[in-house]
Amino acid sequence: MKSRWVVSVLVVVSLSLAIYAQKTPQIKGDEEETGPYEPVPNWPIPLHTDFKNGSTIGVWAESPDRVMVFQRGELPISKEPLAAGYVPAEGAATAATSPRWEHLFTIFDANGKLIESWEQYNDLFVRPHRIVMNPYDPAKSVWLVDDGGHQIIKFSHDGKKIEMRLGEKGKPGNDQTHFNRPTDIAFLPNGDFYVSDGYVNTRVVKFSKDGKYQFEWGKPGKGPGEFDLVHAIVLDNNQNRIYVADRTNSRIQIFDLNGKFLDQWTNIRSPFYMYLSRDNFLWVADGMTQKFLKYDLNGKLLYSWGTFGVFPGGMWGPHQFTVDSDGNLYIAETFGGRVQKFRPKKGADPNKLITPPLKTSSR
C-alpha cells in the first residue's frame, strides 16, 4: 500500500514538472554579461540633446533618491565614445575632444531626474577624480578629490559651504601640505582619514579629522610597501586593515593602521576601484578587463562578471561604483563617458549581488 502511494506521488510530481516545463520558456545561450544585474534604461535622463557626459569618474549613492555624479565636463554628441587617452583641459570648449566645463558635480533622483548641479564650484576643479562620504559623519559632508588640481575639498551636505581644503590648486608637492594627483580617501570611525596620493606621488598619507598631517608611507617600486600608481583605498569593517590598489603594479596591498605591510593580492590586472560590502567581501572594478571581482578577505576570488562595450550593460573603464539601500548598482565609466544604473535581476542569486556598504548611524 505504502509503495503504491509513493509511486502515485512520484507520478503527480513528474506530471507537474512536465506541465511547468511546457509553460516556462527554457533559456538558451546567454553569456551573463551583466552578471546578476540588468541595466535600467534611460537613467539618468540626458541633460542635453547636443552634449553628453565627458569622462565620468565618480558616483556615490547616498540614497536611492540622491545619487551624486562627478564628471570632467561635457562633450559634443558624436557617434564615437571617448578616446582612451582623453584628458580634459580646464575650461576647454572648442575642440571636439575637449569638454565645456559645466555640470561637473550633479545629483539625480531615483528616476534619473536632475535635482542639483553645483555649477558655482566648477572653477575649483581641474580634473575630477572621486566622490567620498564618511559613513560615520552625521553631517553627511561631501568630499571631492581633484587629482589634476592636487586638491581634496570637503563640502557641506547641501553644497553651500566649503568646510575644508587640502592641497593647493596647481601646486603639486610631496610634503605635509601638498599632494601630487591624489585619488581616494578612507575614514576611521573617529573622523581621521587616509589619502591615496596617487598618480605621481607613491604614498598613503594619514590625517586627523581636522586635516592635520600625521604620517605617511610608501615609495616608488614593486616591493612590499612600494607603489606605482596608488589609485584607491578602503578600510575593512573592523577598521584594522587598509587595502590599497597599486594599479599599475597589478595588485592590492594590505597594511595595518600604522602602514605596516601585511599581505598582497597579485595578478589583478588593473584595479581601478575597491568597495568593502556590508557582508565583508571586497569587490574590485578592473578598468582593463572590465570586470567586477568578488574576493573574500583572504584574497580568494569567488565570482566575477562584466564585459567591454558601450552598449547598455557593457563597460569601458569602470572608475567608481556604489550601491544604494535598495540594492541598485551605479557605475561611473571614465572612458565610456557615462554613469549606468543596474537593478538586481528577478530571482538573482544573492551571493552574486553587491550588498550596500557598512551601515552606520549616519545612514
For the segment 237-269, what is each residue's pLDDT rounded down to a tens digit?
Answer: 887 999 999 999 999 999 999 999 999 999 999
Which strands form 128-132's sheet, in the order they lie side by side? 128-132, 142-146, 151-155, 162-167
Q: Answer whether residue 88 shows pLDDT above 60.
A: no
Please name the residue that has the C-alpha cell 574576493. Answer: 295
Of 93 and 162, the structure prediction assigns the larger pLDDT to 162
Would you state the cell numbers that stand for residue 191, as one nine-digit string? 573622523
What's the Cα-to-Cα distance from 360 to each of 134, 136, 139, 172, 248, rounded to whole Å? 10, 6, 13, 35, 33
Please, which pLDDT band fits residue 358 given cuts at 50, 70 and 90?
A: confident
> Which residues fall within 8 angstroms of residue 316, CB to CB, at 6 or more apart?
81, 82, 290, 308, 309, 310, 333, 334, 335, 336
Distance, first Cα to last Cα, the chain: 61
Q: Confirm or reject CATH 3.10.20.580 for domain 30-352, answering yes or no.
A: no
Q: Which helix (H) or strand (E) holds 212?
A: none
pTM for the model: 0.89
CA 246, CA 228: separation in Å to the nearest integer? 6
Please, which pLDDT band fits residue 98 given cuts at 50, 70 and 90?
A: confident
CA 145, CA 316: separation in Å to the nearest integer? 21
Q: Each residue of 121-163: pLDDT tens digit?
A: 999 999 999 999 999 999 999 999 999 999 999 999 999 999 9
Which alpha helices (DSSP H) does the chain contain, by range? 2-23
CA 80, CA 90: separation in Å to the nearest integer? 22
Strand partners, 256: none
| Most trustworthy range by pLDDT among 2-6, 7-11, 83-87, 175-179 | 175-179
Q: What is the mean pLDDT of residues 227-242?
A: 94
Which strands form 291-295's sheet, in the order they lie side by side? 271-276, 282-286, 291-295, 301-305
CA 325, CA 221: separation in Å to the nearest integer? 39
CA 61, CA 15: separation in Å to the nearest integer? 48
